[in-house]
Amino acid sequence: MTTKDSKNIEVAVNTGTSFYFNEEDTLLIALEKQNIEVHYHCREGYCGACRTKLKSGSVEYTTDPLAFIDDDEILPCCCIPTGNIEIELY
């Protein structure tokens, strides 16, 4: 587990890993910094390749995603957690 940031936002992943989110990054970048493999292509919300299930918590988007996602899915490439979240990588 990494050190806490000023917001203490924890990200729990179905791989058994959890870490504290650095608010300067997107969720995808934060996952990569933890050496958690996430499939992606565009990094801008267009393709949907990084589609991930949001099991609990909420996120806000830095840019509106254009890829289709279900109500319980997020695109880590263009979002940041607004509080503690639990995600399931596909």
The dihedrals phi and psi of 72, each to the nearest 5 degrees, come to: -100, 20
Domain region containing 21? 10-89
Q: What is the pTM of this model?
A: 0.89
Q: What is the CATH number of the domain that holds 46?
A: 3.10.20.30
- 62 in Cβ contact with 80 (< 8 Å): yes
Enumerate the β-bridge partners of residue 54: 87
Distance CA 72, CA 60 (A): 13
Domain membership flag for residue 3: no
Looking at the 3D structure of the chain, how many domains does it have?
A: 1
pLDDT confidence bin for 2, thresholds 50/70/90:
very low
Domain membership flag for residue 67: yes
- 78 in Cβ contact with 67 (< 8 Å): no
Domain membership flag for residue 2: no
5-64 pLDDT, tens digit each: 446 999 999 999 999 998 889 999 999 999 999 999 999 999 999 999 999 999 999 999
Please give the DSSP secondary-structure letter assigned to residue 10: E
Domain membership flag for residue 5: no
The dihedrals phi and psi of 27, each to the nearest 5 degrees, come to: -60, -40
